[in-house]
A = this chain, B = another copy of it.
Amino acid sequence: MQLESLKVFCDVARCRSVSQAAQLNRMTQSAASQTLRQLEKHLNVQLIDRSVRPLQLTPLGQHFYERCRELVEQFYELEASIRSAGAEVEATVEVAAIYSVGLGDMDKYVERFKVEQPHARVHIDYLHPDRVYEKVADGTADFGLVSFPKPSRKWEVIPWRDEEMVLACAASHPLAARQSIRPAELAGEKYVAFDKALTIRRQIDKFLREHGTTVEVACELDNVESIKKAVEELSGVALLPEPTLRREVRSGALVALPLSGTRLVRPLGIILRRQHKLGATALRFMDLLRSAGDPHSPRPDGRQAQPGRNGAAHAER
């Protein structure tokens, strides 16, 4: 049972002519005639009275036409809506990122991408790390941006960039005048920590342990923005990724002290579902991110990114 057959029948019913209906459907009169006969045979009824000119619908045919027409129209509407929705989806990149990837950074990438791909739309969700993994796993996001990415069967990890961890403190803090600081010097400081459930907290704890230091945890928060605010207000200190502090350092609200004698980095990674081929648009946006973060790392699928029209995608900020 072909939908086209129904359309042909509806057209015949409207035009009262097989030939015209055939033309409307880009087929020969013969094909239309056969189609109608087949339809009637399938339904085991006579829909059209062919013994008069112009042909006429039987009462049954009339009834069938009225209902059928609606259904056919509705279906073609649905088809069109799905098609356009599909094009929309294809042109949209869904990214899931942890809070602290930094709105400032991502905005720049998005702006740059929109210049290169004017028809494209980028949507970034800033979420709790667990939610990021979820959205990647269930396909709601094309890819995710997380810190300390953990490999798994379910997803593939592409290293993106390493962020230097630095000590943040209020401008009025006694340490603010220092050029750098050794981990050991943090002992006794009022420390604002990440939530215990977060990987970064465990990594920092391990780092401090390795340097024989224990800090006095004043409070625990699950995102960078809250920690920054707490550092300011409690006049505490915190170890945070350097890029997330830039705005506050520029405005003078906070001071960022590099660690001396050692180094702690927060690796960021792109995660994406295995065997899940990304759309062309998503692929291009990922390439933009990667070339900005680490232009030399290989692409996991071996495909070449479409180069921007002027190679700007490879320019470091």
Contacts and interface: CB of A to CB of B under 8 A. Distances in A.
A1 interface: yes
A49 B137 CA distance: 12
A154 to B, nearest CB: 9
A46 B86 CA distance: 8
A247 to B, nearest CB: 36
Interface residues of A, number: 35
A1 B3 contact: yes
Contacts of A64: 78, 82
B51 A86 contact: no
A26 to B, nearest CB: 14
Contacts of A68: 75, 78
A85 B58 contact: no
Interface in A45-101: 45-46, 49, 51-52, 56, 58-60, 63-64, 67-68, 71, 74-75, 78-79, 82-83, 85-87, 89
Q: Which of A2, A83, A86, A89 is the most central at the interface, judged by chain B CB atoms within 10 Å of its CB?
A: A86
Nearest to A76: B1
B83 A43 contact: yes
A79 B43 contact: yes
A308 interface: no
A59 B88 CA distance: 13
A43 B82 contact: yes
A151 to B, nearest CB: 18
Contacts of A60: 82, 85-86, 89
A188 interface: no
A275 interface: yes
A276 interface: yes
A250 B79 CA distance: 72
Contacts of A87: 44
Nearest to A77: B67
B86 A45 contact: yes
B44 A86 contact: yes
Contacts of A52: 139
A57 B21 CA distance: 37
Contacts of A83: 43-45
A277 to B, nearest CB: 9
A45 B3 contact: no
Closest 5 CB pairs of A and B: A45-B86, A1-B3, A67-B78, A51-B275, A64-B82
13 contacts: A2-B2, A43-B82, A43-B83, A44-B86, A45-B83, A45-B86, A52-B139, A58-B139, A60-B82, A60-B85, A60-B89, A63-B85, A64-B78
Given A56-B139, A71-B74, 4 more contacts: A43-B86, A51-B275, A60-B82, A67-B78
